[in-house]
Amino acid sequence: MNKYFKEALEAGHLCPVVLPNGQNLELPDTEGRTVKYYFAGEDHVYLYGQRFMAITDLARLHNELRINPEYTQAHNAAVEDLLTAALMLVQTDPKKATQAIADVRTLHARFTERSRLSLDLEQFYDLVAATLFTEDEDPRTWELSQNVRKKQHVMRFPELYDFFLQQPLSRFIPWPVLFDPATRNLAKDRSILEAYDWALLQHKYSGSGLEAATLSTIASRGATLNAWTGLLINQSNPIAST
- Specify if 239 maps to a domain: no
- Specify if 197 maps to a domain: yes
Residue 19: how many CB atoms within 10 A of its CB? 16
* DSSP letters spanning 52-110: HHHHHHHHHHHHHHS--HHHHHHHHHHHHHHHHHHHHHTTT-HHHHHHHHHHHHHHHHH
CB 123 within 8 A of CB 173: yes
CB 229 within 8 A of CB 188: yes
Residue 208 sits in which domain range?
3-233
The 10s digit of each residue's pLDDT in 182-218 is 767 777 787 788 888 888 888 888 777 888 889 888 8
pLDDT at residue 134, as a whole number: 93
- Specify if 112 maps to a domain: yes
Q: Chain-wide mean pLDDT for the chain?
A: 80
H or E element at residue 43? helix 41-44
Taking CA 61 as the corner, what is the angle to CA 166 and CA 101, rounded to the nearest 5 degrees? 130
Kindly provide the b/e burial profile for residues 147-180, where b requires at least 16 CB atoms within 10 angstroms of the residue's own CB.
bbbbbbbbbbbbbbbbbbbebebbebbeeeebee
pLDDT at residue 37, as a whole number: 94
- Specify if 199 maps to a domain: yes
pLDDT at residue 204, as a whole number: 86
15: phi then psi, degrees, rounded to nearest 5: -145, 150
pLDDT at residue 236, as a whole number: 43
Q: How confident is the model at residue 98 (pLDDT cuts 50, 70, 90)?
A: very high
Mean pLDDT, residues 224-231: 77
Residues 6+ apart with CB under 8 A from 34: 26, 27, 28
229: phi then psi, degrees, rounded to nearest 5: -65, -45
Q: What SS3 state is found at 128?
A: helix
- Specify if 242 maps to a domain: no
pLDDT at residue 234, as a whole number: 66
- Specify if 23 maps to a domain: yes
pLDDT at residue 64, as a whole number: 62
Number of independent structural domains in the chain: 1
pLDDT at residue 192, as a whole number: 85
Q: How far, in Å, CA of 63 to CA of 69, rounded?
A: 13
Kindly provide the b/e burial profile for residues 187-226, where b requires at least 16 CB atoms within 10 angstroms of the residue's own CB.
bbebbbebbebbeebbebbeeebbeeebbebbebbbbbbb
pLDDT at residue 225, as a whole number: 82
pLDDT at residue 191, as a whole number: 79
Q: How many CA atoms lie within 13 A of 202 on its CB side?
A: 18
The 10s digit of each residue's pLDDT in 133-188 is 999 999 988 888 888 889 889 988 888 877 887 777 665 555 555 556 776 777 77
pLDDT at residue 31, as a whole number: 82
H or E element at residue 34? strand 34-36
pLDDT at residue 178, as a whole number: 59
Q: How far, in Å, CA of 83 to CA of 68, rounded?
A: 23
- Specify if 238 maps to a domain: no
- Specify if 40 maps to a domain: yes
The 10s digit of each residue's pLDDT in 40-62 is 877 655 667 778 887 777 777 66
